[in-house]
Every structure is written in C-alpha cells, then in structure tokens.
C-alpha cells in the first residue's frame, strides 16, 4: 500500500518516462488498467517508445494500427507469434504503413503472420527505408515482397525467410544483388536448390547463409 502511494506521487511526466521503457504490449495493457493516472501515463508514453512487441497476442487490425500511429519515436516493431494465431491482415499492414514512425524503423518482425500477403508487405516495406533487420519467416510471401525489399531497403543487414516456401531462387538473387549491406540471410526450409546458395555467395562473398534449424547456428 505504501509503495502504491509513493509511485502515485511521481509527476505524470516521469511516470510516462517509466512506461516508455516497457516493450511488451501485454505489460502496457495491464499498466493501463491499474487506474486513471496510470492510463494517462501510458497514453503520454506512447510517443516516446523506441521498441514495441505484440508477440504472443492476438492482434486486431484497427486498434493495433491506431496505437502505432501515435508511436513517433519507435525503432523496433515486433508482431511475432509462437502459436501461429496472429490476427493482423493486409488491411492492418496498410494502416500501419502510414504511421510516422515507419520510415525510421530499424527492425520489423512479421514472424508467423500467416494472414498477410505480398500486398500488405509491399505497402509496409515501401516506406520502411531505414530498415536494417527483417524477420518475415513463416509467411506466404513470394518474390514480389523480395523485390519490394530490394528496391526500398538499401540498409538491410539481416533477413529471416524461414519456411517461406513460395520464394524462389530468382527472388533471392535479386535481393542479394540490390541489398549491398546484407550480412546474413536465413533460408532454412525453403524450396530452393542448393546451387542457389553458391550463387548468392558469388555475389556477396561475406554473406552468411543460414540453411538449417534456427537453433543449430550452422551456416553454409
């Protein structure tokens, strides 16, 4: 009871600063429900946050996009799910793409978002020009998305394409040719011939190609 009283004495601006350090949406949602003062503090903190993760939560397009549109300082955005239950669709990605923070994002994870297609990914990626790290594994994207990444993400350093079965050798070659800063690429469980990896290394000799399990840290 005494600790609760002490934290209530904090200026709302300082309270907002504390909430801005919280990266998980679940924690923010719980904090927001404590009291009106905490709710105001969470609201004020939105524009200050550098990283936000919705991992493990079933997300709905409109409410998620509404929250992200207020995230002016965001640099890392994570939608990953371990149980493949993500609710975000192309409609949500289209709304998120117009957020002011998107051109400044350094990292985006769309891991396991099985309800998205090239249409939504291309719309989002077309404005994420500062992107350095992208995880798009476990989705049904095709070479169309890779072409958009190649055209719009010149600073890309790492990309995860785990189990992207619709991506072909042609898309990978275009990606590596255009993204000159690319350092590593995860192509595990993709339907591409082994000769493709030789071609990628020929284009970029220092490129690390991860072709097995995410856990075994084995590189071609």
Q: What is the DSSP letter of 219?
A: B
Whole-number CA gyration radius for the chain: 19
Q: What average pLDDT is seen over the chain?
A: 85
CA dihedral 197, 199, 205, 208 (to 10 degrees): -20
Structure tokens that stand for 82 in this block: 């371990």
pLDDT digits (tens, 9 = 90+) for 23-36: 776 787 788 778 88
pLDDT value for 86: 57
The residue ranking higher by pLDDT, 40 or 163, is 163
Cβ distance 117 to 147 under 8 Å? no
Closest CA to 104 of 75, 70, 66, 78: 75
pLDDT digits (tens, 9 = 90+) for 45-86: 777 778 888 776 777 888 788 878 877 889 999 988 655 445
Question: Where residue 172 falls among pLDDT bands split at 50, 70, 90?
Answer: very high
* Residue 74 C-alpha from the chain's centroid: 11
Question: Where residue 216 falls among pLDDT bands split at 50, 70, 90?
Answer: very low
The residues, any chain, with a CB within 8 Å of residue 210's CB and separated by 6 or more, are 184, 185, 186, 187, 188, 217, 218, 219, 220
Average pLDDT over residues 109-115: 91
Closest CA to 108 of 88, 16, 41: 88
Q: What is the DSSP letter of 159?
A: E
Angle at 167 between CA 162 and CA 171, to 5 degrees: 115
Question: Where residue 5 falls among pLDDT bands split at 50, 70, 90?
Answer: low
pLDDT digits (tens, 9 = 90+) for 181-206: 999 999 999 989 988 999 999 999 99
Domains of the chain (ranges plus CATH)? 50-210 (3.80.10.10)
Closest CA to 25 of 89, 88, 119: 88
């Amino acid at each position: 009871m005494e600790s609760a009283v002490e934290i209530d004495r904090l200026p709302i601006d300082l309270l907002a600063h504390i909430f801005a350090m919280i990266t998980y949406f679940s924690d923010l949602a719980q904090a927001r429900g404590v009291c009106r003062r905490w709710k105001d503090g969470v609201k004020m903190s939105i524009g200050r946050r550098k990283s936000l993760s919705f991992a493990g939560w079933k997300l709905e397009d409109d409410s998620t996009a509404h929250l992200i549109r207020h995230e002016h300082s965001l640099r890392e955005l994570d939608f990953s799910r371990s149980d493949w239950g993500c609710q975000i669709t192309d409609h949500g990605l289209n709304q998120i793409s117009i957020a002011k923070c998107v051109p400044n994002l350094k990292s985006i994870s769309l891991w396991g978002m099985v309800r998205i297609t090239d249409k939504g990914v291309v719309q989002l990626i077309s404005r994420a020009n500062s992107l350095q790290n992208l995880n798009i594994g476990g989705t049904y994207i095709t070479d169309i998305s890779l072409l958009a990444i190649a055209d719009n993400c010149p600073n890309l350093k790492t990309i995860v394409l785990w189990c992207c079965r619709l991506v072909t050798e042609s898309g990978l070659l275009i990606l590596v040719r255009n993204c000159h800063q690319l350092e590593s690429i995860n192509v595990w469980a993709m339907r591409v011939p082994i000769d493709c990896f030789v071609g990628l290394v020929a284009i970029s000799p220092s490129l690390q190609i991860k072709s097995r399990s995410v856990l075994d840290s084995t590189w071609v």
